[in-house]
Each structure stands twice: as C-alpha cells, then as structure tokens.
Amino acid sequence: MKRQSVSEIREIFLNYFKDKAHSVVSSSSLLPAGDPTLLFTTAGMVQFKPFFTGAVELPYTRATSCQKCLRTTDLEVVGRTERHCTFFEMLGNFSFGDYFKEEAIEYALDCSVNHLGFDKEKIWVTVYTDDDEAEKIWLGKGIPKERITRLGKKDNFWGPAGDSGACGPCSELYLDRGVEKGGPDCAKSGTCKPGCDCDRFLEFWNIVFNQFNQDTEGNLHPLKQTGIDTGSGLERVALLLQGVDSVYDTDELRKIISFFEELSGITYSQENKTAFRVVTDHIRSVLFSISDGIYPDRTGRGYVIRRLIRRATLFGRKLNFKEPFLYKLVDQVIEIYKVRYPELAKNSASLKKTILAEEELFLKTLELGLEKIEALVQKTKSSGKTLFSGADAFLLYGTYGFPAEMTEEIVAEQGLDFDKTGFQEELEKDRQFSRESWKANKISLMTGQSADKTEFLGYDSVSGKGNIAHLFYENRSVPSLKEGQSGAVVLNQTPFYPEGGGQVGDIGFLRQGKNVFKVLDTQKENDSIIHFGEVLSGEFTTGQELDAEVEQTRRERLRFHHSGTHLLNGALRNLLGDHVLQKGSIVSPEYLRFDFSHSSALTNEEIRKIESWVNESIRKDFLVETKELAIDEAKKTGAVATFGEKYGEKVRVVQMGDASVEFCGGTHVSHTGEIGYFFIKKESSPGAGNRRIEGVCGPAVIETFQNRFAELTEAVQNLNLKIKSELGEEGKNLLITLKVPGPDEIRETLEKDGATAVTFFRDLSESIDLQVEETTSLSLKAKKSLESRDFENNSAVIEKVFSSAVDTGAAKILFAIFEDKDPNSLKGLSDNLKVREKNLLVILGSRNADNASVVITCSSELTSKGIHCGNLVKAACETLGGKGGGKPDMAQGGGKEKQNLDSAIQSAVDEAKQILTGERV
C-alpha cells in the first residue's frame, strides 16, 4: 500500500464519514467558545459540548471534523517521547442522540482497516471494566477475546472537557507494533497488553460512549440522549501508517525539522532529537494559538503560550540559537498549513512581530537566569539537599522570567526535586504583600532626595542611552549598586516614562554588557526620573553609560489607553457639556479609568453615544500633534487642563484633530486609528457629584468581548439545561436559541469594522443578558405553576389528606399542613378534595419561609350546619399573629408566627368538631 501523507489521511477519514451522512464541520478556534473554564480546545468534542448535553437545538445529529487541539498537561515530556505533542490535529466522528455503540465500533473498524489500511490482525481493543455490550460487539466484528482488554476508570472513562459536560466510558483501538517495541521485560515475556506503558501498543482511536453529564460538583447525571465522541490523533495515525518511529518523523513535522536544520546548520540526530522536537512542536502551538488571538501574557492562557516560547528558546540554545529564531520560520510553517488553516496566512505579519517581541523579551534575561539557576543548583547540592526550594524558584520566576515548570524541568535534569508547594506559597505571599511593601519602600527612598533633571526621550522611542547621574540604596545616595541589591537609578536622560497624568510608569531593563538592572517601576520626583528595581547581575556606578530598554508591548497598550482617554474626555465635554472636568484617571496596560464631574448617572443612551463618538474619532484617524508651548500660548489653544494639576512655564499640548486638545505629558499614538476600537465596560460613581467610566482600547476590547460571549454562552446553556430538566416539554418555548460570534469572528469583525462592531457586540451581549434574565424569571414562574398543578392534582396528596379525616357523623373534617404552598395551591387542592364527597370541611395550612397561611373551605351543605369558614380562619390567624377572613364556605388568611401553625390548625379542627357535633351552642 502506498504511504499516505498526513493530508491524505485526513481526507480519507473525513470523506469516509461524509459518505456515512456526517456533516463535515470545520475546526473551531483553539480558544474555546462558551467555555470560560476550559483553557484551550483540547479535543474534537469541545465545539460540540452543548450538542451532547442537549443545551441547544441540533443542526445535525452526525458530524465529523479535524480539530486543532492544544494540550499542555504533559509539557515536560514533549520532545522526549515519540508520540507527545502539545499542538495536534484530532480526527473525529460524533453522534448526538443518533447512532451508538454498534455503529461507532463498526465505523472505527471499517474506516481503519478498509480505508486507512491498518492490519486488522494487529488491532487490539480495550473496553471499560463492566462494558459487556461493547465486548460482545467487538467479538461479533471478528476481534478475538484475547485481543480485548478491560481497563478501568483511569484509562477508559473520558471527560468532561472543562469542569462540566458530557462524559462516559470508552473503548480504544491500539495497534500492536511488535514485541520488539516492548520494554525489555515486556519483550521477554511477550505478555504485555494495551494499558502497559511500553511502546508495543499504540492507541490510535478512542470511542467515547457519552452517557453522562457531569455537573460542576462532579456528580454524574444520565444524559437524555446518548452520544458518540471519537478522537483519533492525526499525527499518531500517520506515525503508524507511515511506519516511522515518532510523530516527528511523519511528513509534515519532518518538514519543520528540516527547516530548523537549515536555519541552524545542524543535522537532526539521535543526540539532539529532543531539542529539534521541542522547537518543532512549540512553533506549531505558538503559531496556531497566537493566530487564534491567544497572545503571550503574564497570566491565564497567555502565560501558557509564553511558557512554550520560553521553553523553545531554551531548547533552541542547544541548537546554537542565541538570537531570536522562532519567528524566522513562521512563513515556512504557514506554507505547510495554509490550505487547511487560511487564517494563518492572513495573520503572518503580526504573528512574526509578536513572536519576535516575545523571544527578545526572554532573551534579555535568559543568560543571567541560566547562570543563576546553575549557582542555585550548586548551592542546593553542596548543602546536601535534594529539593530545589520554592523561594529559589520564585526568584528565577520573578526576576528572570523563568516559568516554574521550566525551572522544574531544568533542575530535574540535575537530579533535584522541585518544591512546588513552596513555590506556590511564595507566589501567594508576593501577591499579598509586594504592592504594599514596594510602595512603602519607594516612598522612603524618594523622601528628601533631590537629583538633577532627567531629560525624557520616550516620546519618540522606547530605547536609548543615558549616563547614571545618581544611585540610591536604602534611602541613601550611593556610588554603586551591586548584584542582588534593590535600589533606584537616575539617568541624565531616559526613554522610561515616569508615572504621571494617570499613566503608570514604564518597566524594562537598563544594561551595559553583562551588567543588568531590571526596572520594576518608574517615578518622577521634582525634575528627576527615577528607575526603581533590582540589579540582576554585575555592578553599576555613577557616570556609567547604559542602554535603556522599555518593555515595548506594554508601552503600546499604554499608548492606546492614554490616547483613548483623551478621546473619551473629548466625547464627554462635547456630549455632556463643559461642566465635565477630569477628576482622576488611571491609564494602565489593561484598561483606562476616568473620573469626572457630572451629577447624574449616565443613561444607556448616553453611554452608547459617548462610545460611538470615541469610535468615530478613532475611525477618522486624526493626526496626533504635540507642541511645547509657553503656558499662556497653550491656554489660548483652548486646551483642556486637568483640574488641580500644577503646570510649569512650558507645557505640552496634545491635539487630536478637532476631537481633543489637552495639556498632557503622556505617551500617545501617532494617529487615532492605531487605537483600533474603544468599549465602555462600566459606568459608576466614585462619590457624590462625580462619575467614573472604565473602558478598554485595542486588543483589550477583543479580549473583553471574547470573555463576555464565552460567559454568556455558558450561562445560556446552563439555563437551557435547567429548563429542560425542570420543565420538560412544558418548557420548550422558553429555551433560548443562541447565535453568538465565536472568538475568531469577534476578532475579525472588530478588525474589519471597529466602530460598528463594538456597538453591535454591546447590543448583542446586552440583549442576551436581558433574555437570560427574563427567561430565568419566566422559568421560575412556570416551575411554580407546574409544581402547584402537580400538587393540586397529586392523588397521593389527596389520599393522604383523606386519611387524616375526622368523622363527626354529620360531616368529615379534613386537615393538613404543607411546606411552601401558596394560598391558590391550597384552594386548588381543597376543590379537588371537595368534588370527591359531600359534607366536607377542609382546613389546610402552609408553613412558608417568613410566614404561615391558612385556607378553610367547606361543602355548601355545611354552612347550614353552623360552619362559617370566615370565622374559623379569623380565629386561626389570630393564633398566627395575623389576620384573615372570608365567606361562610371559603376563607383564607395568614400570619408571621409560623411556629404556631400546628396549634392554629388544631384549634380550628376542634372548634369545627364542636360545632358539627353540637357539643357547643
């Protein structure tokens, strides 16, 4: 049989299922839609999660796909084994309440043997511990009992993906690669089976029989409709069919390895294979993730991508890459995948830029970090310890940017264990205290020190040279700062922006050769710009000339948010009036916050108008002009000054077309179009007479909507499930059919048409929010009425009340007490009781959350025998500390003292008995 390429295998699989009436569905984004708890798309079933649980209407009941997946749970073994990848493509066929075990097994065997070309005699299968049915089907298809293994929950129960969703027992297909592939013991005995850790059996197809829905507490509920979720790793299938040793030797991945061979001038060999495999795997993961809008970052998803780039950088050193190199292969790798994933080619320029910036960022401290780690490992070993401490790992993380998992991997190579708990504790401590202590430290450092004027170079550039004018250590001016010391550096000129005008200070590095100072914050005191931070290596002395490098991507986000703040100020003054004065502002990389004088809360209409005004000014792409003017000149321009701010003789005026003119020393975009788009997240009041707007600009808008729609999707799905389980058919009309944009669509729409898209997404998210709110209250009402209908007509309840009857001869008195029933339900029940017999007096009570209620009714004949329901209720309600009354044959009431309900009902019964037996006149 001809050796099939990865691309051919993919086509054979999808066509096979297409012929079996499956809809061919495109891969979804690596950023899962509607699942905020799931970091990445980890399996083909992720995009179909709601189809399995029945949370949405089904567009089809059979589907097949080839899904981009990212799994980083086994990151440290990736590159070291034959078959692990972080990024991979997963082939799958799915049934949503359509076929089940029999066909799923039939398809798996038929497709793999008769279409992909696997040798049936070498196929082994596993079934779940007690799944006799699956075993029987396999036997029927000609797989003999000795090639069927039963495995337990650990191996043969899959899901859910994320913290809840469909899951179930599975059955897997393995290929026997021959005893010689087994570990030494296995090969000798020849008795190992699937489930053994050795390489003899390789799993290539997993069929999950979805039978349960796991809730967020981990409880399993049977699914209303069973389903099938199969996963077959494309790279693994290719490894087996192409007869190669590892996934990295299959045609496409081998091509990437060749690119790295060419770039490094080193041949891929037994000795260096791990490094080649790591960079090959990671470049794919990083490319596909960034292209799906998951950018390297400090936390969450972005942090995983940062880790991958850093790990690739580290292994790249083993191939002599000392400079950024990953970005150089972007175009070649895209070439392989662009037909299947056209989004890659569309984003190639920004992909390269992002990867390069991230590589550069890490390379700045990598050498130093590696020296430090070496020293720390030696220190640990020479003190006779085998545990690398959490505090040391934290130092590497905080100062040199080494992800903890990477440190763990490096120290493991040196035979040391890693103190994970210790690291987490350090991290937690840092979160709690660092801000406070840093602030305190800073203030004391600054007090009373006066240094010379620093010239600011950062309007036009994020890097530059400067000479050290002053150094400070522990509140004192010092001639030098040494490795490990935290202190402050003042230069004669610097591109670092000091906190001011709301904009937070820059971070980055000052360096001269191997002498490196990490800048954690920049502040201004009098005319000096002060860099606060720590000497990572070497020594600094006054007079030295340094290279100053600001962290560029962070500065970019600051520029978007600062220019966005000016436009917002312009919008407020234009739309609300000149009484709007700036009362405070924060410009951070994550968001902007603007406080201003205005007496009343903004209406939705006003918020929309303000947002549109800003977006319109962005779209007009005004040139951002800055001028240094004498204060009197500046005032003549009509520029807005910030209330309470002190200005010198000369001020800087920033103008954005006719949208805004302000006094401002901050850093800005050069054209408003660069901001991209603006979105108001929240409007509130920081105190009387003032309002506060929190908003985001540029990439932060994309992230905000991606998160918002994911949360809404999840909320809708949970609500639909609740309605289905509580109301069944009755709730059908309440179910919400949701059409929300996925993460990719959000990004693309915003990039194409920012202003309109922001309004559209805002409207859409608000209307879904409203719909969820209304549906929740309607479903509560429906549930109540269903419950009361059930209650009134429930024959067990009716029988039970009858069994309480007190027969006085002339009449029967029925009485009962319930929990949480409204008076209408009690009346309904009384009616259903009274149709059964004549001469009935019904006394019903309900104990509710805050009170108790009583309903008393009787057959009409009893009113002529002295019964007056109104009087009975009145007396009962007095016992409850409340009021009640009504007609002779029907009355109701209640009171707060629900603890007296038993005695109130009992007294009514006694009273009626006396009346009916004539024992009382």
Which of 45, 329, 696, 719 touches ligand SER (CB under 6 A)?
45
Q: Name, in order, each residue with C-beta under 8 angstroms of 824's C-beta and a sequence gap of 6 or more.
A: 788
Nearest to 202 by CA among 164, 233, 162: 233
Rounded distance between C-alpha atoms, residue 53 and residue 769, angstroms? 22
Which of residues 167 and 404 has its CB atom nearest to ligand SER in the complex? 167
Burial of 918 (0-12, 13-18, 19+ CB in 10 A): exposed
Q: Which residues pair with 615 in a beta bridge?
A: none
Name the helix (H) or strand (E) containing 840.
strand 840-847
CB of 122 to ligand SER, least distance (A): 21
Which of residues 206 and 407 has its CB atom nearest to ligand SER in the complex? 206
Q: Is residue 208 near ligand SER by the rule CB under 6 A?
A: yes
Q: At residue 560, what are phi and psi to the nearest 5 degrees?
A: -60, -45
Quick note: the x/- pattern for ligand SER over 108-147, rule CB under 6 A, is ----------------------------------------
- Going across the sheet that includes 890-895, the strands are 806-807, 812-819, 840-847, 852-858, 890-895, 883-886
Nearest to 398 by CA among 515, 559, 507, 549: 507
Nearest to 112 by CA among 139, 137, 89, 91: 91
Q: Is residue 230 near ligand SER by the rule CB under 6 A?
A: yes
Helices (H), 835-900: 869-879
CB of 137 to ligand SER, least distance (A): 18
> What b/e readout covers 365-382, taking b as 16+ CB neighbours within 10 angstroms?
bbebbbebbeebbeebee
CB of 169 to ligand SER, least distance (A): 12
Which of residues 43 and 710 has its CB atom nearest to ligand SER in the complex? 43
The stretch among 227-235, 275-283, 617-625, 849-857 that binds ligand SER (CB under 6 A) is 227-235
Which of residues 168 and 502 has its CB atom nearest to ligand SER in the complex? 168
CB of 709 to ligand SER, least distance (A): 24
Q: Is residue 44 near ligand SER by the rule CB under 6 A?
A: yes
Q: At residue 114, what are phi and psi to the nearest 5 degrees?
A: -85, -15
Please name the residue that has the structure tokens 């309607």: 778
The stretch among 41-49, 283-291, 476-484, 646-654 that binds ligand SER (CB under 6 A) is 41-49
Which of residues 105 and 481 has its CB atom nearest to ligand SER in the complex? 105
CB of 168 to ligand SER, least distance (A): 10
Q: Is residue 43 near ligand SER by the rule CB under 6 A?
A: yes
Which of residues 47 and 830 has its CB atom nearest to ligand SER in the complex? 47
Which of residues 90 and 634 has its CB atom nearest to ligand SER in the complex? 90
Cβ-contact 87, 70 below 8 angstroms:
yes
Which of residues 233 and 533 has its CB atom nearest to ligand SER in the complex? 233
Which of residues 164 and 642 has its CB atom nearest to ligand SER in the complex? 164
The stretch among 223-231, 621-629, 742-750, 886-894 that binds ligand SER (CB under 6 A) is 223-231
Q: Is residue 508 near ligand SER by the rule CB under 6 A?
A: no
The stretch among 225-233, 395-403, 469-477, 680-688 that binds ligand SER (CB under 6 A) is 225-233
Rounded distance between C-alpha atoms, residue 539 and residue 399, angstroms? 16
Joined tokens for residue 673: 């179009």
CB of 53 to ligand SER, least distance (A): 14
Which of residues 39 and 811 has its CB atom nearest to ligand SER in the complex? 39
Which of residues 43 and 758 has its CB atom nearest to ligand SER in the complex? 43
The stretch among 42-50, 590-598, 819-827, 854-862 that binds ligand SER (CB under 6 A) is 42-50
Joined tokens for residue 135: 């075993």
CB of 218 to ligand SER, least distance (A): 18
CB of 713 to ligand SER, least distance (A): 20
Which of residues 201 and 394 has its CB atom nearest to ligand SER in the complex? 201
Rounded distance between C-alpha atoms, residue 665 and residue 400, angstroms? 31
What is the rounded (10 degree) CA torsion for 394, 398, 399, 404?
50
Which of 89, 98, 135, 229 touches ligand SER (CB under 6 A)?
229
Q: Name, in order, each residue with C-beta under 8 angstroms of 871's C-beta and a sequence gap of 6 or more.
A: none
Burial of 254 (0-12, 13-18, 19+ CB in 10 A): middle
Nearest to 395 by CA among 414, 416, 375, 381: 375
The stretch among 39-47, 459-467, 683-691, 765-773 that binds ligand SER (CB under 6 A) is 39-47
Which of residues 91 and 610 has its CB atom nearest to ligand SER in the complex? 91
Determine the residue with CB nearest ligand SER: 231
Please give the radius of gyration of the chain, using alpha carbons only, rounded to the nearest integer: 36
Rounded distance between C-alpha atoms, residue 135 and residue 121, angstroms? 17
Which of residues 43 and 701 has its CB atom nearest to ligand SER in the complex? 43
CB of 233 to ligand SER, least distance (A): 8
Residue 856, SS3?
A: strand
DSSP state of 601: P
Which of residues 43 and 329 has its CB atom nearest to ligand SER in the complex? 43
Which of residues 229 and 408 has its CB atom nearest to ligand SER in the complex? 229
Which of residues 148 and 208 has its CB atom nearest to ligand SER in the complex? 208
- Report how far apart, in Å, the C-alpha atoms of 424 and of each of 416, 421, 431, 627 are: 18, 5, 11, 49
# of chain residues touching ligand SER (CB under 6 A): 10
CB of 65 to ligand SER, least distance (A): 10
Helices (H), 127-170: 132-140, 153-156
Instruction: State the Cα angle at 184 between 183 and 189, rounded to 5°.
Output: 95
CB of 45 to ligand SER, least distance (A): 5
Rounded distance between C-alpha atoms, residue 287 and residue 748, angstroms? 17
CB of 208 to ligand SER, least distance (A): 5
CB of 167 to ligand SER, least distance (A): 9
Helices (H), 383-516: 390-400, 404-413, 420-446
Rounded distance between C-alpha atoms, residue 858 and residue 810, angstroms? 13
Which of residues 227 and 676 has its CB atom nearest to ligand SER in the complex? 227
Q: Is residue 158 near ligand SER by the rule CB under 6 A?
A: yes
Which of 36, 227, 231, 893 touches ligand SER (CB under 6 A)?
231
CB of 119 to ligand SER, least distance (A): 23
- Going by their DSSP bridges, the two strands 852-858 and 840-847 should be labelled as antiparallel
The stretch among 228-236, 287-295, 826-834, 902-910 that binds ligand SER (CB under 6 A) is 228-236
Please name the residue that has the structure tokens 């009343």: 600
Q: Is residue 206 near ligand SER by the rule CB under 6 A?
A: yes
CB of 755 to ligand SER, least distance (A): 41
Quick note: the x/- pattern for ligand SER over 70-99, rule CB under 6 A, is ----------------------x-------
The stretch among 40-48, 106-114, 119-127, 405-413 that binds ligand SER (CB under 6 A) is 40-48
CB of 44 to ligand SER, least distance (A): 5
Nearest to 359 by CA among 310, 321, 407, 319: 310
CB of 94 to ligand SER, least distance (A): 8
Joined tokens for residue 500: 């001011």
Instruction: State the Cα angle at 390 between 389 and 391, rounded to 5°.
Output: 90
Please name the residue that has the structure tokens 């009171």: 895
* Type of residue found at 286: V
Binding site for ligand SER (CB under 6 A): 43-45, 92, 158, 206, 208, 229-231
